[in-house]
Each structure stands twice: as C-alpha cells, then as structure tokens.
Amino acid sequence: MKPIDLSLRLFAAGLVWSLAAHVQAITVSQADGFQDGTAMSWTGADTTIAADLGPTGAGDDSLRVSSTLRFTAYNQTQWSGNWTAARVTQIAMDVRHNNDSALTLWIGISRGLPMSKGTGDTYVSNLSATVPNDDQWHTIVFDVKASDFSAAPSHTDASNNPAAALAAVTQFRILHNPLRRFIGAYYEGTVLLDNIHAVPEPSTLGLASLVGTAALCWLERRQSFCVRSRLKNHF
C-alpha cells in the first residue's frame, strides 16, 4: 500500500468516526425509551430488552439490567458529548425492581474512558436516589449541573473539574452503591430501567422540549406521563 493511500484511509476513517460521534452525541430532550428492540448501547451489567414490562405494560418495552457482580450500566454512545451545550440540567429515569434490598443509585460521568477501579477523570453525583424493592415503577431525577457533581473517590486526573467533564462526557453510568462511588457495589438482582431522558433548561423548553415530551407521552401511551408532572411528584 502506498503511503498516500494509507493517509487517505486514515483521514476517511477519522472523518467517519467524527461524523458518527457527532450524530450519536447527546441532544436536547434526548430520551431512551427502548422501543426499538435494542439495549440502545447500554452495557456493563448484562442488558436485555424486557418486552411489555415498561411503565404502561403491553407495548411498552424497558431495559432489563441483570447484575451478578457490580451493578453498573453505562453508555458511551448517545450519552457522550457536551451536556452543557445540549443545555441538560437534569437526568430522569424510571426504575423498577423487587430484589432483596433497596437500590441506592448514583450517576457518574467521565471525561475520557474510566480506567481500572474507577480511576481517571471520573465524577459522581453529589446525591443518590433510593429505589425501594416494591416491584413498582419509580421516577428518579438527578440534577446535572457542574455543582451537582464531585470528583469520584477513585478520581486520579489532575484536572478535577466537573464543568470540563460535562462539556466532554465520554461515559455516562448508572450505578448502585450504598456509598458514593464511581463503581457499583456487588449486587445480585435484576432491575428494569426505562425513559432515561435529558431534561433541558427552561430556556430550551420550547419546541424541542415539546417534541421530546410528546415523544415520551407517545411512547408511554398515557396522558398522565410528562416530565413536568413527574418532577413535581417525585424526588
């Protein structure tokens, strides 16, 4: 292969990767409703689709996260990118389980891929959300401004800057741990997740929010579901 051919190939590969990353990055009012039959790039613990087990039953699919070791589910595709530019102020999601003990959920972000045992430029929400094991759906909401995150106890990057991480999220994770950590605690059980969505700041609650909320309501097929009412009633 001639050198120029290799350069062109590398350039083309880089361009494709760049375009793909741009397309897949987080967007205003982004929502994962798991209605396309896939786990939507959520991985970590074993992830599969639970058909008809979403909050509204028949026709509403959700994500089944089955944990035999550390309970962590993460996404490095559509939830990567610049959360600040996307004007995301909160992350909300629906959670249901009936395991032996309640869940203590945190969200984490990393700038660059996290390394072994949660090292790297890793951050965890300052607050957790407790989800009881009552086999009922619960909506939990996390504030996600820079002041809502702190460096993970395992953080090893010199920058220690949540704002910089929010502007360049590589990995977004949801984890269970009684303690504030970037890695999940050992937890054996199955948890259902649905409607993981980004809530934009009020200034962007125009057409984009209406479209996003309408899409969620359509997915849920019930009029009572909307972001605003859930934020009022929960958390």
Q: Please identify which residue in 28, 29, 32, 33 interacts with Ca ion, judged by CB under 5 A.
A: 33
Q: Does 139 engage in binding with Ca ion (CB under 5 A)?
A: no
Q: Does 194 engage in binding with Ca ion (CB under 5 A)?
A: yes
DSSP code at position 69: S
Q: Does 81 engage in binding with Ca ion (CB under 5 A)?
A: no
Quote the least distance from Cβ 67 to Ca ion, whole Å.
20
Segment near Ca ion (CB under 5 A); pick from 26-34, 39-47, 74-82, 155-163? 26-34
d(CA 9, CA 128): 46
d(CA 224, CA 235): 17
Q: Does 44 engage in binding with Ca ion (CB under 5 A)?
A: no
Q: Does 60 engage in binding with Ca ion (CB under 5 A)?
A: yes
Quote the least distance from Cβ 93 to Ca ion, whole Å.
11
Segment near Ca ion (CB under 5 A); pick from 96-104, 134-142, 186-194, 205-213? 186-194
Contacts of 2 (CB under 8 A, 6+ apart): none
Q: Does 184 engage in binding with Ca ion (CB under 5 A)?
A: no
Tokens, residue 88: 């995301």
Quote the least distance from Cβ 55 to Ca ion, whole Å.
7
Would you list the DSSP string of 60-129? --EEEEEESSB-EEEESSTT-B-TTTTTEEEEEEEEEE--SS-EEEEEEEEES---GGG-SEEEEESS-E
Binding site for Ca ion (CB under 5 A): 33-34, 54, 60, 194
